[in-house]
Structure 1
């Protein structure tokens, strides 16, 4: 969230509240989640906001003030709505990651769908479908998807052209082009069956 003022502002005293159904946050005005820079205040919650809900932000009087200590007598309150969750988790990088960076790798997408919790650079979707960004993978313009059957624990890849996972030579090791899939010990029906997948130089 970016707040713009008509003069330089600074932190005063108090806490910002960010409220929605099922989500309530209280952030002290001096918390690192709140950054002052001249005329602007940027609020970046540590945990992403929920999708498809309306939030109300309340900034009490005295929490934000100008360089002379002046502030609105009534504080500030405003509301906004977040966008609905994406219909699928979109894999948009060929780099194998595990919680690193802002992009969404296949490994991270699988964990996001399996746990129903956003992970790494992947946003939680409203379905159990993983989609490969057609601008990045294989054949531009061809949408390729992975669908997880939650009742059977199966992984099905449906693509008109091969889905290829590549790792550069010498890139083995933790977080480097290895082990994009894992199965919990003792789980008899939660592993993936993959047909026609090419793993090159891995």
Structure 2
């Protein structure tokens, strides 16, 4: 694979990662609500979900989602339901006061599960990789699947770097907000609205 192709792929990947979307908004929300560490763990777990989509695209599994409306709808609604569940959890915490001494802690395992499920249960990510990765694969080669895996890993690495930067910035913003009275309620309400918005958008968006 030519260096020019790799650089072009990387440039497009960075642009797509920066554009506001469910994943980076999720990282920002977790960082503001639970701190930098939670945001970074969420960012890395979201990016690890990219490997699942990459392997699915390389093996042709994602094509099933294209051909089967039922499979697509099943995964899509499962993802939407999970996001609405997270919105409900944030809504129940709306009266909590966030401070350095009283900050709800989540285990790394819980954060990792949330991040991976958030990413994997979005069928549009699978479809995106199925359409995106082949554009940068050399045609007529026997190693097309391997090239797609390599590009997927590259996408994951750059996304991990960018999402981590988002998490660090949002974590600093969260610390500043927590020093202000009554911001705990606003943070949880904001998370609830954001998760609900993403979930509803996923559920009612077309294929």
Q: Is TM > 0.5 for Structure 1 vs Structure 2? A: no
Greater share of residues in strand: 1
Greater share of residues in helix: 2
- TM-score of the two chains, using structure 1 as the length reference: 0.20
Query: Which protein has the larger Cα radius of gyration, Structure 1 or Structure 2?
Result: 1
